[in-house]
Amino acid sequence: MLIATWNINGVKARLDVLLAWLDERQPDIAGLQEIKNVDETFPRTELEARGWHVETHGQKGFNGVALLSRQAPVSVERGLPGDALDEQARFIEGVWRMGDRDIRVASLYLPNGNPIGTEKFTYKLAWMKRLEAHARHRLADEIPFVLAGDYNVIPQPEDARNAKAWVDDALFQPETRAAYRRLLGLGLTDAVRASTDKPGTYTFWDYQAGAWQRDNGIRIDHVLLSPEAASLLKSVEIDRHVRAWEKPSDHVPVVVELALGDSSPSIEA
């Protein structure tokens, strides 16, 4: 079973890229971030024509998340619990019945938080605290749980080509990285780092200053797995070739393979 996450950076602007990647990769479930439109204007017709089921939690002009899948989910919940006044569309999760077991998959777009010292950074840290509480609650269910998306967190210096360039950025602040470690401390597994410690493992290259051409990237798109999901992990791939396509997103997809209904050996995670 293939589960993917991708910050598409505007689904309307990059619909052709999305469709081409879906045709190529054929994931079972794909979480999108930064769809940048409301639910009513999401281009579901084009996706449904290719056999995709679409669930969205949109917002006009920015933010917005979605879940695409080959089969319809059993249930869907929109919005991260913990703040009834939060109107930003940054979280959606669904449950799918796969054979004789359920799997829960969330697509999240964690706040950027810049500039530091403003309410935006405060909101980022508060959002991460809510995410931690929600993850703890979901882990108690003891069913496979995948928490995937654009975290806007550079976990370690090796997750950036030039870590020194990010020391004053919200993505690399000690508080941000500590909040990410607390998520892992709940028992979640960072799927990419469970499969490789290879340097140069990035998921984002800025549009500016020739970042892609110079491979000046960072790793901020993460797939975190509950123990039940981590025990099923077979492989992880970052589809970095998509960054070289025409009109690409500045992020690339991260794809994990889980051995649902498969007796093949899994990665030690």
Residue 262 marked as a ligand binder: no
Q: Does the annotation list 34 as a binding residue? A: yes
Residue 141 annotated as part of some ligand binding site: no
| Lookup: tokens for 138 | 């979901």
Amino acid at 219: R
> Which residues are catalytic, by number?
109, 150, 251
Dihedral angle, C-alpha 44, 46, 47, 48, nearest 10 °: 80
**Distance between CA 89 and CA 78 in Å, rounded?**
8
Asked if 77 and 93 touch (Cβ cutoff 8 Å), the reply is: yes
Handedness of CA 54, 56, 59, 61 (dihedral sign): negative
Omega of the bond prior to 81 within 30 degrees of 0, cis? no
Dist CA 16 CA 248 (whole Å) = 10
C-alpha 164/C-alpha 172 separation (Å) is 10
Q: Which of 132, 119, 3, 153 is nearest to 80 (CA)?
A: 132
Q: Is 137 annotated as a binding residue?
A: no
The sign one gets for the Cα dihedral 148, 150, 153, 154 is positive
Q: Which residues are registered as beta bridge partners of 104?
A: 95, 145
Tell whether 250 is in a known binding site.
yes
DSSP 8-state class, residue 239: -
For 26, phi then psi, to 5°, come to 55, 55
Q: Which residues are annotated binding-site positions for Mg(2+)? A: 7, 34, 150, 152, 250-251
> Which residues does the annotation place in the binding site?
7, 34, 150, 152, 250-251
